[in-house]
Structure 1
């Protein structure tokens, strides 16, 4: 049954404790509560198999994904409250969590998620060739989803390319920060360590500070650079304590040399060592949206970059990007690093040449080649 988000939400909401359906609906008529059978019937129709009022625009026999939460048989009240909160958030560019279920054998809980047939961002860019135009559009959609999460007063906490899923060629943000250990209270997590994927984690988080919207922005910058370069961050070194020290001292992934300057500048701002220097999710979205809308102005330059990329990326080079160090880990895990240095931006800045508009950055190798050509011409 078709449901228009401008009129009603896509899925039902579990009523908050102590509130009534009537009082909540006075605030927002779009909300449909589980207990309101008549409204569910009106909005979502009747299921042809179980003859019950629907619970969403797409339900019953619909394919879903189950994400197991390891060691969650003794689930905490805090985590249940977090699940409940996220079930009340319905955003266009964010994967829907329909609820939780339990594995009858292990007793671990599992998240019931919207299924995406095209896999995650990493799988998508490795199996699909994409030019700058579509990439800018997709990055704008992802930024819009992150902005919606932040506007809802939430922090993702585990933002990385594995949590960006594709369905019908469109990206969606998944997990909404529920990937931390399900059975740990906040103080226990603080004692044992932090949870996430090391290459995407902001340096202040690595040092034990709480996740913030600014730490999500840092992760977005790493993801954005990965998508443009089509290379996983720090894929040739171990993801260990030594890497965490280097990140705090200013180490960042290489920016692909054919990255348009506007995008390179935005990436650099997002992964600034100081959280207060990073743009907000609204600013990131606005920058990308503006570039997407105005990209016709730079049509010739973008096409030029795409041509250079095709020449520089042979099939052999592309396959080399897939190879990773055996200790490069891109799944969320518990990390415990101590005595990390104060985060700083690296003093080792690359010499760059920029021309007008969206011109690409040239790295030191390019500059050496240019200088060599000039010397040869002089001779």
Structure 2
């Protein structure tokens, strides 16, 4: 979901090494370079929760996305007749306006992928990783996924 929304792979600008693994265990999550509707951000955050038992089941996600799709289809059919927009549609439109007016958004074409950012399956044999946790304020802060910065070299 992150790649589809941001147009970038997660952690594209840092080495995929033990420092990144430690930062993720400490609560680091990918950051968006654009405004994301809060309802979508909430789903992403729940999927990235450090505690696997807090993550939604695929069936629950499917149900949620189907509800969004039904609401969207209902809105587009009645859009010319009324201005009854769902919360998600309003958030998408608001995020779109912010993103269109923002000069800070970076295009995926201008972002350089770190030479040690590897996007293929490989085993990690890191020892001494801490117990995974969410960053402080993880559920209170809705502007982004993470409240901490990566300590690795950019």
- TM-score, structure 1 as length reference: 0.31
Structure richer in strand, relative to its length? 1
105, 110, 113: which is aligned to 1:324? 113
Give 1:236's aligned residue. 13
User: Which of 46, 49, 52 lines up with 1:272 in the alignment?
Assistant: 49
Alignment-derived partner of residue 344 in structure 1: 133
| In 1: Cα distance, 2:121 partner to 2:10 partner | 15
Q: Distance in 2 between matches of 1:286 and 1:256?
A: 28
Q: 1:351 to 1:268 in 2, by over 3 A?
A: closer
Equivalent-residue separation in structure 2 for 1:362 and 1:336 (angstroms): 30
Contact 1:269 1:278 survives alignment (8 Å):
yes
CA contact (8 A) 2:18 2:126 kept: yes
1:309 aligns with 2:99: yes
Give the Cα–Cα distance (whole angstroms) in 2 for the partners of residues 304 and 241 of structure 1. Answer: 38
- What pairs up with 1:157-196 in 2 under 5 angstroms? none
Contact 2:14 2:117 in 1 (8 A): yes
Give, in whole Å, the separation in 2 of the partners of 1:245 and 1:291.
35
Conservation of the 8 A alpha-carbon contact between 1:237 and 1:325: yes
Query: What is the CA–CA distance in structure 1 between the aligned matches of 2:2 and 2:92, rounded to whole Å?
Result: 17
- The answer to which structure, 1 or 2, has the higher relative contact order (CA under 8 A, 6+ apart) is 2
Q: CA deviation at 1:349?
A: 4.5
Off by >6 Å, runs of 4+ in structure 1 = 313-316
Residue by residue, what CA displacement relative to the aligned partner does 1:78-104 show, whole Å, maximum 9, x if unpaired? xxxxxxxxxxxxxxxxxxxxxxxxxxx
Provide Cα deviations, 1:135-158, integer angstroms capped at 9, x if missing partner: xxxxxxxxxxxxxxxxxxxxxxxx
Judged with a 3 Å threshold, the aligned counterparts in structure 2 of structure 1 residues 232 and 292 are, in CA distance, closer, same or farther, namely same
Is structure 2 residue 124 aligned with structure 1 residue 335?
Answer: yes
Contact 1:257 1:362 in 2 (8 A): no
Count of aligned pairs between the two proteins? 132
Deviations 1:331-352 (A, max 9, x none): 2223221221111111155975
Q: Deviations over 1:53-88 (max 9, x none)?
A: xxxxxxxxxxxxxxxxxxxxxxxxxxxxxxxxxxxx
- C-alpha separation in 2, matches of 1:274 and 1:229: 24
The TM-score with structure 2 as length reference comes to 0.72
Unaligned runs of 5+ in 2: 76-84, 146-154
Equivalence for 1:253:
30
Partner residue in 2 for 1:142: none
Q: List per-residue Cα deviations over 1:241-263 (Å, max 9, x = no partner).
A: 11111111111101455211110
Which structure has the bigger radius of gyration?
1
